[in-house]
Structures are given as structure tokens and as C-alpha cells.
Amino acid sequence: MNTNGESRTEFVHNLVEYRIFHVPGVNRLQLWIVSPVSGRELFDHGRSIPEGMTLSDAIEVMRAYTIGAIDLDEYNRLLPPE
């Protein structure tokens, strides 16, 4: 758990570290990439969690898209962009 109240999930894919933050006040996920060169966190994108989807399912969808397990069409269907 972060000090600002956001929960965080981390994973590594192809030697790149990714962090998915849950922002509970707005029920959104944010994907951040950790630069392998500088170690700085770089914001990638965010998505709202659809009504009826669990937090763990939404995190898994974002992770699956990030590692290439699902394509953009499927990602947009499961976690629609605003």
C-alpha cells in the first residue's frame, strides 16, 4: 500500500517493470512504467473500472493487455476508454 492511500500491483515483463495503481476515490487504474535507465516512474495511461467488475479482474485485464496476452480491441471491450 502506498503512503497516499493508493494500492499498487507490480510486475515485470521483458525486463521492464510496470506498476498498476488503484485510485479508489475515482475507481480508476493507472499504468506506470519504471524506466530501466533512470528508475523514474513514467505515466502510461489510465482506465476506469467498469461497474460490476472486481478490482482484481480489472488489474488482470490491464496486465494481460500490457504483456500482449489480449489485443487492443479486447482491452477496449473489457476496460472501455473514456
**Per-residue pLDDT tens for 55-67?**
999 999 999 999 9
Tens of pLDDT along 5-52? 458 899 999 889 999 999 989 999 999 999 888 989 999 999 999 999
Give me the amino acid identity at 36. P
Distance CA 18, CA 32 (A): 6
Q: Whole-model pTM?
A: 0.86
Q: What does DSSP assign to residue 71?
A: -
